[in-house]
C-alpha cells in the first residue's frame, strides 16, 4: 500500500508541476500579447507624431517663405491673401491632427489661427476696396505686410 500511495503522491506532484508549467506558459503568453499590443500602440502614436512633425515643418516652411517674400519683394493684396489662406489651411490641418495636444499648444494654435484669419481678412478688404485711392491701398497693404512680417517673426520664435 505504501508503494501505491507513493505512486499516487508522485502522480499528483507531477500533475501539479505540469499544471503549474501550463499556467506559467499561459501567463507568459498573455504578457507577450500585452507587450505586443503596447508596442503597436506606441508605433501608431509614433506615426501620428511623425505626421504632425511633417505638418509642422511644412507650416514652418510656409511661414519662412512668406516672411522672406515679404522682405524681398512687393506682394499684391491678392498674393498676400492667398498665402495667408494656405497657411490657415496648414494650421487647421495641424490642429486637427493634434487634437490631444496640451492646452498651451492648443491655445498657441488658436491664437495663430486668429491672427492668420485677421490678416487674410484685412488683405481681402484691401483688395476689394474700390473706393480707396491707389496710394491709400498701397499704404494700407504696406502696413498689413509689416504687421504680418512682425507676426510671422513672433510665430517663428514662439
Q: Is 42 helix (H, G, I), strand (E, B) or coil?
A: helix
pLDDT at res. 113? 77
**pTM: predicted TM-score of the whole model, two decimal places:** 0.45
pLDDT at res. 93? 66
Q: What is the pLDDT along the chain (158 residues), one digit of tens a residue?
A: 566 877 777 777 787 777 787 777 777 888 888 889 999 999 999 999 898 889 888 888 888 887 777 666 566 777 777 777 777 777 676 666 555 556 777 777 777 778 878 888 888 888 788 888 878 888 888 888 888 877 777 666 55
pLDDT at res. 1? 52
Gap between the Cα atoms of 89 and 50, Å rounded = 19
- The set of cell numbers assigned to 102 is 496640451
Q: Are residues 84 and 119 in contact, defined by beta-carbon separation less than 8 angstroms?
A: yes
Q: Are residues 88 and 117 in contact, defined by beta-carbon separation less than 8 angstroms?
A: yes
Q: Is 1 helix (H, G, I), strand (E, B) or coil?
A: coil
Domain boundaries, the chain: 52-158
Amino acid at each position: 500500500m505504501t508503494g501505491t500511495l507513493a505512486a499516487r503522491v508522485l502522480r499528483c506532484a507531477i500533475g501539479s508541476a505540469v499544471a503549474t508549467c501550463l499556467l506559467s506558459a499561459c501567463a507568459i503568453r498573455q504578457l507577450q500579447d500585452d507587450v505586443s499590443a503596447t508596442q503597436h500602440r506606441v508605433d501608431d502614436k509614433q506615426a501620428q507624431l511623425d505626421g504632425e512633425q511633417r505638418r509642422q515643418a511644412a507650416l514652418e516652411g510656409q511661414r519662412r517663405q512668406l516672411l522672406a517674400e515679404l522682405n524681398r519683394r512687393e506682394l499684391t493684396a491678392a498674393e498676400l491673401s492667398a498665402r495667408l489662406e494656405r497657411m490657415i489651411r496648414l494650421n487647421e490641418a495641424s490642429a486637427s491632427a493634434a487634437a490631444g495636444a496640451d492646452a498651451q499648444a492648443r491655445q498657441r494654435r488658436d491664437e495663430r489661427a486668429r491672427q492668420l484669419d485677421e490678416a487674410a481678412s484685412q488683405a481681402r478688404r484691401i483688395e476689394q476696396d474700390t473706393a480707396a485711392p491707389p496710394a491709400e491701398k498701397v499704404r494700407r497693404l504696406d502696413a498689413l505686410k509689416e504687421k504680418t512680417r512682425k507676426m510671422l517673426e513672433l510665430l517663428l520664435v514662439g
